[in-house]
Amino acid sequence: MRHQRPVTCCSCKAAHPPLMQFLKSIVAALVALVLVAQPAMAQSVLRDAETEALFDAISLPLIKASGLDPKNVDIVLIGDKSINAFVAGGQIVYIHAGLIEAAENANEVQGVIAHELGHVAAGDVLRSGEGAKSATGITLLSLLLGAAAIAAGAGDAGAGILMAGQQAAMGKYLAFNRAQEAGSDQSARRFLSTAGISGKGLISFFKKLQGQEFRYSEQSIDPYAVTHPLSSDRISVLSEATAADPAWNTPTDPALEARFQRVKAKLFGFTSQPPDTLNRYPVTDTSIPARYARAYAWHKSAYPERALAEADALIAALPRDAYLEELKGQILLESGRPREALPLLRAAVERTNYQPLIAALFGHALIATEDKTHLAEARTVLRNAVQRDNDNPFAWYQLGVVYAQQGDQSRAALATAERYNLQGQAPLALRNATLAMNGIVKGTPDWLRAQDIAMVSKTALDSKRRGRR
């Protein structure tokens, strides 16, 4: 196939199909430019009570230092092995599992969180439209000038103007993005200093990123064609100021560091293939993190007794630890022994003051015993869980099971509607919300909630239909 140059009709200068196709491609590039700042949100979110408690502990001083309200900021774990963290609207910091795996210590993760909080505090996601708007103006101008040149018969010149304009627009946007990143680096330095947290982790993590860049030969990287400043430049700018900070030599609390190493190993065991876990944490390693990782590896490999042996060793070393009781209870439950799991999960729920994720697991275990006498307790536990954490499809599913087994089909439909609404499945959410409204007394809180879900789902469906036209 040959490249067909745009041509014009000599009599009326009307664009032929090749020209129109070329202009359409420029418009498509313009749309892509506007969307480039929006990260993909299709990744899976990993929920774990212990991990979320750790995130709360290591981020709280930084959130306060940033001037944000801790009640409004969330740190969310994404099930992705790449080394990345980002913000995408609202006050939520997303951290990839791969970043936790790559971090040597809790202080490095704090450095990353501080940087992302810089974006949140500055409203960078909202302001990204400014960069796109500026770049769009350049693209539109080059589009008009290029089209005029092509229409006048100067096809090569017009194409050159269009391409140069597109490159200039992208350069403008990237420069805007790099400025935001540099600003967030400085914010991170201030937040760490204000919180009395060492900036060593921030610098050492940038050095890890620098190592990643060296794999692609940093010398060949065009510093004007990337979204972030080069790590070498970031290290150079930040090192002197962070090293002079009074908190530079402040060590991380040993208890907090121990919690991080547990979570890091736990996460690796959960997300990695069992052979990889056993290779990194061989049976000769009897440390707490190693046993934690292996418990998940053995459990995933369908060796429940070996998994339970690791869990028992952990509990013997750290008795009355709610997260270790949760671990053993989960292994027993998922190995078909829910009755044995109940005392452990009940204890874990009580020790964590009814932590919603653990409570949902406990409710599931109560249901799994198939003992009808446990349904009332399961209903109470699960209702408490969803009241504390509404964003939990698993808990809503279990609550729906309880309602169905107790013969309350209308509230079972409402719980199912809640679950589908959280999962973005508007047709199923609407269907179940309608069923719930038909069986629940009108005007009651449950009926009003079903009505809300029905309205939101119908709006989403209508919007989707309009988008297809």
Asked if the model's pLDDT at residue 177 lies above 80, the reply is: no
CA angle 105, 108, 112 (to 5 degrees): 145
Mean pLDDT of 325-354: 98
Assess contact for 378 and 363: CB atoms under 8 A.
Answer: yes
Strand partners, 92: 74
- 101-131 residue pLDDT tens: 999 999 999 999 999 999 898 864 544 544 3
Q: How many residues does the chain have?
A: 469
CA-based nearest residue to 334, from 308, 372, 373? 308
pLDDT at 311: 98
- Bigger pLDDT: 154 vs 367: 367
pLDDT at 212: 64
Q: Give the H or E element holding residue 360.
A: helix 356-368
> Per the confidence metrics, is the pTM higher than 0.85?
no
pLDDT at 166: 53
CA distances (Å), 403 to each of 93, 327, 379, 440, in order? 35, 27, 8, 13
Q: How far apart are CA 254 and CA 419, in angstroms?
A: 40
At residue 95, what are phi and psi to the nearest 5 degrees?
-120, 130
Mean pLDDT of 247-257: 96
Strand partners, 77: 46, 95
pLDDT at 465: 85
* CA 450, chain centre distance (Å): 28
Q: Quote the percentage of the chain above a pLDDT of 90.
A: 63
Token couple for 294:
């292996």
Q: How far apart are CA 255 and CA 260, in angstroms?
A: 9
CA angle 464, 465, 467 (to 5 degrees): 65
| Beta strand 85-87 pairing with 74-78 | unpaired
pLDDT at 464: 84
Residues 6+ apart with CB under 8 A from 461: 426, 427, 430
Q: How far apart are CA 365 and CA 415, in angstroms?
A: 18
At residue 420, what are phi and psi to the nearest 5 degrees?
-65, -30
Asked if the model's pLDDT at residue 11 lies above 80, the reply is: no
Assess contact for 204 and 109: CB atoms under 8 A.
Answer: no
Asked if the model's pLDDT at residue 219 lies above 90, the reply is: no
- Amino acid (1-letter code) at residue 386: V
Q: How far apart are CA 115 and CA 123, in angstroms?
A: 13
pLDDT at 160: 53
Q: Give the H or E element holding residue 92.
A: strand 92-96
Asked if the model's pLDDT at residue 260 lies above 60, the reply is: yes
Angle (deg, nearest 10), helices 124-151 and 106-122: 60
CA angle 387, 433, 438 (to 5 degrees): 115
Q: Is 15 helix (H, G, I), strand (E, B) or coil?
A: strand
CB count in 10 Å sphere of residue 152? 12
CA-based nearest residue to 384, from 354, 358, 420? 354
CB count in 10 Å sphere of residue 462? 11
Assess contact for 261 and 283: CB atoms under 8 A.
Answer: no
Instruction: Give the end-to-end CA distance of the chain in Å, rounded to a whole number.
Output: 33
pLDDT at 18: 46
CB count in 10 Å sphere of residue 95? 23
| Beta strand 74-78 pairing with 92-96 | parallel
Give the confidence band of 239 by pLDDT, cuts at 50, 70, 90: confident
Asked if the model's pLDDT at residue 341 lies above 90, the reply is: yes
- 342-370 residue pLDDT tens: 999 999 999 999 999 999 999 999 999 99
- Bigger pLDDT: 160 vs 440: 440
pLDDT at 143: 52
What sign does the dihedral 419-422-428-434 (CA atoms) show?
positive
Q: How far apart are CA 71 and CA 170, in angstroms?
A: 37
- 381-401 residue pLDDT tens: 999 999 999 999 999 999 999
Burial 27-63 (b: 16+ CB within 10 A, else e): eebbeebbebbeeeeeeeebbbbbbbebbeebbebbb
Give the confidence band of 94 by pLDDT, cuts at 50, 70, 90: very high
Helices and strands of the chain, counted as H and E runs: 20, 4
The mean of the pLDDT values for the chain is 82
